[in-house]
Amino acid sequence: MSHLLLIEDDSDLASGLNASLAQSGYDVTHLTNGNEAVAACNGSNYDVVVLDLGLPDIDGIEALKRMREQGLRAPVLILTARDGLKDRVNGLDAGADDYLGKPFELMELEARVRALLRRTRAGDAEQMKFGSISFDSTERQMFVNGKPLLLTAREIAVLEALLAKAGRIVSKENIFSSIYELESDASTSAIEVYVSRVRKKLDAAGAGVGIRVLRGLGYRLELAEEALSA
């Protein structure tokens, strides 16, 4: 499950964002001012930060600068009513990765969050290893003990999503979004089929790694002896 930090002082907007993001499978921490956000980011491993610039104590740009100075590496999505070119440039120069002007649709915000997560995962892909499993992002090839694991493109996408968060829960919705586009008519129930296929292929390859099914929460990649059988 991806951990998202939301920094927004508008209680109504924050409540709506919180509910929508949580429903989509994100673990959301909500803060209302910049100083709290700077302190929260010191040593914390957030996957994405969503930052409003109009904060009540310090300006969002200043908060972002301080976060980056103390080592924040997570991608940052800025939310703001300031839509001038200079404002956008200032935000990006301060360390933002994306910029979304208000008002906006929840669907677009979630799409941008997913894009930031994918970008981060792609940047780390060459380092993605867990147990006997390794992933070559350039060739889009999974390996078990150095030997190629024959998977379809969508099976690879499922295992990649789990591998990126190995040992942590990944919701069915998050896996679905990594495979299908927003306009797809596919159902999230298809993920169950792909997960089942991947589990069987890992078992057949003697990977020593399994996928634990957590009903109502999602899936987690674990060492085989710790994973539940379906």
Q: How far apart are CA 168 and CA 51, in angstroms?
A: 25
Q: Which of 59, 91, 120 is the last residue of a domain?
A: 120
* Residues 102 and 153 grouped into a single domain: no
CATH code, 88: 3.40.50.2300
Q: How far apart are CA 67 and CA 207, in angstroms?
A: 40
Last-in-domain residue among 120, 151, 176:
120
Q: Do 60 and 135 fall into the same domain? A: no
Q: What is the pLDDT of residue 182?
A: 43
- Report whether 77 contacts 51 (CB < 8 A): yes
CATH code for the domain in which residue 216 is found: 1.10.10.10
CA distances from 72 to 5, 41, 53, 78, 203 (A): 12, 6, 17, 15, 38
Asked if 59 and 76 sit in the same domain, the reply is yes
Pair (165, 78) in one structural domain: no
Contact 1, 168 (CB under 8 A): yes
Asked if residue 103 has a cis previous peptide bond (ω within 30° of 0), the answer is yes
Contacts of residue 205, defined as CB under 8 A and 6 or more positions apart, other chains included, come to 144, 145, 147, 149
In this predicted model, what pLDDT tens digit does every residue of 67-116 receive, in sequence order? 988 888 888 999 888 766 777 777 778 888 888 888 888 888 998 898 88
45 and 103 belong to one structural domain: yes
The answer on 111 and 148 residing in a single domain is no
User: pLDDT value at position 229?
Assistant: 44
Could you give the number of structural domains in the chain? 2
20 and 74 within one domain: yes
pLDDT of residue 50: 95
pLDDT of 6: 95
The answer on 159 and 108 residing in a single domain is no
Q: Which of 221, 24, 9, 207 is nearest to 117 (CA)?
A: 24
**Domain co-membership, 134 together with 172:** yes
Same domain, 105 and 155: no
Per-residue pLDDT of the chain (230 residues; tens, 9 = 90+): 688 999 999 999 999 999 989 888 888 999 999 999 999 988 777 889 999 988 999 988 999 999 988 888 888 999 888 766 777 777 778 888 888 888 888 888 998 898 888 777 655 545 578 889 988 876 778 999 889 999 988 899 899 989 988 888 999 888 887 776 544 556 778 889 999 999 999 999 999 999 999 988 999 999 876 544 44
Residue 116 shares a structural domain with residue 143: no
Q: How far is CA 174 from the centre of its chain?
A: 8
Q: What confidence score (pLDDT) does residue 89 get? A: 77
Confidence (pLDDT) at 226: 55
In the block, which residue shows the tokens 């951990």? 3
139 and 111 inside one domain = no
Domain limit, last residue, from 65, 95, 120: 120
Distance (Å) of CA 39 to CA 36, 61, 73, 79, 109:
5, 15, 15, 20, 25
Strands across the sheet with 3-7, in order? 27-31, 3-7, 48-52, 76-80, 98-101
Provide the domain limits for residue 89: 3-120
- pTM summary value: 0.55
